[in-house]
Amino acid sequence: MLSAITTLHLAHNFRTARGSVDALRDVTLTIERGEFFGLFGPNGAGKTTLIRILSTLIIPSTGSASVNGFDVVREPDRVRASIGLVFSNENSFYGRLTGRQNLEFFAALQNLSAKEARRRTAELLDFFNLTTAADKPMQSYSTGMRQKLNVTRALLHNPPLIFLDEPTKGMDVLAAESLRSLLRAELVGRQGKTVLLTTHDLQEMELLCDRVGILENGKLRAVGSPADLIREANTTVVYRLELVGHVNGLVDRFLQLSTVRSAEVVSQTEALTILDLTLTDSSAPGPEVWQTLAAQNINVKRCAPKDDGLVTLLKQNSTQ
């Protein structure tokens, strides 16, 4: 069976007046059909950029992506017909039109006949408890009602895949909770749809998602179930080493040590090499690490636990 979403070395680079910004870097990811997948990360991590590429609003700089088996660059029309996108921006409707008029307009753009558009709109308005407000202008709707209508719009043509870009942003606690339970129970539980959700709300991620991808600075740092990722965050310690000189071949030597899970050169100049070392337990780097450095006559300028914002966030906010 085809995966719902596949990306391969996907990257995107925004050019600005001051230079360029790597919004996404080498993202390779597969999301299976029927999965509720979350993209978790701080603001600017690249979550929205990834969703926009997958919904054909942005053409990626390099790499490839397919959605429901269709390539996002070569077959954008077929991709769009098979997805629904819930925007984080609540002002994405025609404010002077009623909720019903807005939905019937978008239903027509999704190839529904006038009769089918009316029927589907009425059905969804009823499901989301919006029938009473349906014939009032959109500009009189509360944030919660607009977000519900946003979800309703994404479901009009009954697509198999839904993108939710921070769907509870700006909503009060009760409205957000009501929307979350509806998303989980209805979209995935009853209708079997695939959902890709972006959020920086850890509780939302834990409550809704089967699997989560952690994005940071445009890079996919980890993928797994929320429970696994939180467990891993609690047992993982990253040390940052500042080494004198331009050091080569050290990463491979570190990876041979049983106490080192991963090693990555962060930056390198002739005078200084900065390297992140992820250990398999929470203790400080053991003697084997120092022996490896000593064997190569490498002077250590500084060694300290790295303040990893995301890991700290996962640890602090974990409900487990």
Partner 1 sequence: MIPASKLFAFTKRGFLHASSYRLNFVGTYLSGVLVIIFFAVLARFYQNAQPAALAPYGDYFTFLLIGGVFARYFSVGMRHFGRELEHELAAGTIEPVMVTATSPALALLGPSLWMLIEGLVLMAIQFAIGAVVFGADFSRADWSAAIVLSLLTITALNGWGIFSAAFVLAFKRADPLSWLVDVTIYMLAGVYFPVSVLPAGLRWAAYLLPLSHSLEGLRFALMRGATLNELWPYVFILFLFNVILLPASLFAFRVALNRVKREGSLGHY
Residue 122 interacts with partner 1 (CB under 8 A): yes or no: no
Residue recorded with tokens 């925004």: 14
Closer CB to partner 1, 83 or 229, in the complex: 83
Q: How far is the CB of 45 from partner 1 (least distance, A)?
A: 15
**Using CA atoms, how far apart are residues 283 and 312, in angstroms rounded to an integer?**
16
Residue 265 interacts with partner 1 (CB under 8 A): yes or no: no
Residue 12 interacts with partner 1 (CB under 8 A): yes or no: yes
Closer CB to partner 1, 109 or 266, in the complex: 109
Residues 218-237 that bind partner 1 (CB under 8 A): none
Residue 137 interacts with partner 1 (CB under 8 A): yes or no: yes
- Residue 295, phi then psi, degrees to nearest 5: -60, -25
Judged by CB under 8 A, the number of residues near partner 1 is 39
CB atoms within 10 A of CB 83: 25
Q: How far is the CB of 221 from partner 1 (least distance, A)?
A: 22
Per-residue contact string for residues 70-109; x = within reach of partner 1 by CB under 8 A: -------x--xx-x-x-x-x-xxxxxxx---x--xxx-xx
Q: How far is the CB of 115 from partner 1 (least distance, A)?
A: 11
- 52-74 in b/e burial notation, b at 16+ Cβ within 10 A? bbbbbebebbebebbbbebebee
**Using CA atoms, how far apart are residues 67 and 249, in angstroms rounded to an integer?**
39
**Using CA atoms, how far apart are residues 1 and 4, in angstroms rounded to an integer?**
9
Q: Which two tokens stand for residue 278?
A: 């992820």
Residue 252 interacts with partner 1 (CB under 8 A): yes or no: no
Residues 50-69 that bind partner 1 (CB under 8 A): 52, 55-59, 61
Of 114, 185, 255, 266, the one binding partner 1 (CB under 8 A) is 114
Q: How far is the CB of 140 from partner 1 (least distance, A)?
A: 13
Closer CB to partner 1, 105 or 127, in the complex: 105
Cβ-count burial of 140 within 10 angstroms (0-12 exposed, 13-18 middle, 19+ buried)?
Answer: exposed
Closer CB to partner 1, 74 or 96, in the complex: 96
Closer CB to partner 1, 34 or 137, in the complex: 137
Per-residue CA distances from 167 to 23, 142, 144, 240 (Å): 21, 14, 10, 36
Residue 18 interacts with partner 1 (CB under 8 A): yes or no: no
Of 2, 9, 14, 172, the one binding partner 1 (CB under 8 A) is 14
Stretch that binds partner 1, among 38-46, 110-118, 166-174, 235-243 (CB under 8 A): 110-118
Of 49, 66, 68, 236, the one binding partner 1 (CB under 8 A) is 49
Q: How far is the CB of 290 from partner 1 (least distance, A)?
A: 46
Closer CB to partner 1, 153 or 180, in the complex: 153
**Using CA atoms, how far apart are residues 238 and 304, in angstroms rounded to an integer?**
9
Q: Which two tokens stand for residue 143?
A: 């944030």
Positions that interact with partner 1 (CB under 8 A):
12, 14-15, 23, 49, 52, 55-59, 61, 77, 80-81, 83, 85, 87, 89, 91-97, 101, 104-106, 108-111, 113-114, 137, 153, 157
